[in-house]
Amino acid sequence: MTFFDIFQQHEWETTQASIYAKTAADVERTLAKQGKRDLEDFKALISPAAQPYLEQMAVLSRQLTQKRFGKTLQLYIPLYLSNECTNSCVYCGFRHENETTRITLNEAQTLREATVIQQMGFEHLLLVTGEHPRQNGPDYLKKMLKLLRPMFAQISLEVAPMKTEEYQSLVDEGAYAVYVYQETYNAGRYAGYHPRGKKANMQFRLETGDRCGEAGMRKIGLGCLLGLEDWRTDSFFTALHLNYLEKRWWQSRFSVSFPRIRPFEGSFEPNSIVTDADLLQLICAYRIFNEEVEIALSTRERPAFRDNLVQLGVTTMSAGSRTDPGGYTENNKELEQFAISDDRDPETFTTMVRSKGYEVVWKDWDMCLQTR
């Protein structure tokens, strides 16, 4: 059995209706509950009925986060290796049809980028590529992992979904985590957003977490692209996915990310507007639902909003990010996957974090611990 079997048991419209049918009494019962909360509780927490309880949710989210993670915030930085892609995702700056310069960094270029990042103080690195099996597939990634492994304590991947044996080969080369975003769980609309390329295979993408778990990946990251479809319904399916993976692949750690649609070259307008209050509600709902999951927030979000969320449930943030290949040594904004909102340098960002009484964690893992 894989998550696809679980997914097929839940119909989008029925799930959506059940979320919007939740009442204030459901929310109050969930907030008063002792012990682990279930998926019905999560529905209540993300429902419109929970909006008047946002302050109460934020207080509880803060308490639960500090209980499990302390007053700490992990930092990471993305390194975009390639914007070459065979997919045609209508919302993405890397889509195959976009007339833009395509770049895949070679080893020398990658080392220059990595050196700049290392000088900033980062130990946790996220490698990001488009999805092009020949240009930035498993063989290319193994080469980059081998190159970068001596420089960083932890290397994660946000790349094309792969087969189990391919993930195993990346684990052997030092890969710590894989982040794969379903984008939307609406099966009736998925094909319209992904008309061409391997990403059009929704089932293969849905089962990526299973293949990562089977391969022994130490952390698996999930998320949907907020703004494609109704954020509440997509978020329930993400929580369903997380719930399944935690039980099935209990040896791995898990994280949830919250990318909101941002402008890019050939811009796409979101179909569902996700406000700051909506995103705060969602983050607090995840923390109350799951006290163990890591919660990540990128530089897509505005500085003031990110500052507030340091204390309200988020455990991991990026800083000083560039979303174009070669962006740390050559600023090529026309090659960006999406526009960045928070462009503060790491020093400025960490000063803000410490001003809130939180400790910045640059490193919580080391390659010497990584044995299969």
Task: Write the secondary structure of the chain as one string of H (helix), E (strand) and C (coil).
Answer: CCHHHHHCCCCHHHHHHHHHCCCHHHHHHHHHCCCCCCHHHHHHHHCHHHHHHHHHHHHHHHHHHHHHHCCEEEEEEEEEEECCCCCCCCCCCCCCCCCCCCCECCHHHHHHHHHHHHHHCCCEEEEEECCCHHHHCHHHHHHHHHHHCCCCCEEEEECCCCCHHHHHHHHHCCEEEEECCCECCCHHHHHHHCCCCHHHCHHHHHCHHHHHHHHCCCEEEECECECCCCHHHHHHHHHHHHHHHHHHCCCCEEEEECCECCCCCCCCCCCCCCCHHHHHHHHHHHHHHCCCCEEEECCCCCHHHHHHHCCCCCCEEECCCCCCCCCCCCCCHHHCCCCCCCCCCHHHHHHHHHHCCCEEECCCCCHHHCCC
CATH number listed for the domain at residues 3-364:
3.20.20.70
Average pLDDT over every residue of 189-193: 97
Mean pLDDT of the chain: 94
Which residues lie below 8 Å from residue 242, measured CB to CB, with a gap of 6+?
A: 222, 254, 256, 290, 293
Average pLDDT over every residue of 282-300: 97
pLDDT at 131 over 60: yes
pLDDT at 336 over 60: no
Average pLDDT over every residue of 2-24: 99
Least confident interval from 29-33, 62-66, 85-89, 170-174: 85-89
- 18 burial (CB, 10 Å; 0-12 / 13-18 / 19+) is middle
User: One-letter amino acid identity for 108?
Assistant: A
∠316-317-323 over CA atoms, to 5°? 135
pLDDT of the residue at 366 = 66
pLDDT at 331 over 90: no
pLDDT of the residue at 93 = 79
Percent of the chain clearing pLDDT 70 (strictly above): 94
pLDDT at 166 over 60: yes
What φ, ψ does residue 154 adopt, rounded to 5°? -150, 130
Least confident interval from 255-264, 309-318, 334-343: 334-343
d(CA 141, CA 174): 11
pLDDT at 372 over 60: no
pLDDT at 365 over 70: no
- 78 burial (CB, 10 Å; 0-12 / 13-18 / 19+) is buried
Average pLDDT over every residue of 278-299: 98
For residue 8, count other CB atoms closer than 10 A to its CB.
11
Average pLDDT over every residue of 24-47: 98
Average pLDDT over every residue of 82-89: 94
pLDDT of the residue at 265 = 44
pLDDT at 333 over 60: no
Q: Does residue 300 contact residue 338 with C-beta atoms inside 8 Å?
A: yes
Average pLDDT over every residue of 268-289: 94
Which residues lie below 8 Å from residue 25, measured CB to CB, with a gap of 6+?
A: none
pLDDT at 252 over 60: yes
Which residues lie below 8 Å from residue 48, measured CB to CB, with a gap of 6+?
A: 20
d(CA 225, CA 231): 9
pLDDT at 221 over 50: yes
The winner for highest mean pLDDT among 271-275, 283-287, 339-343, 359-363 is: 283-287
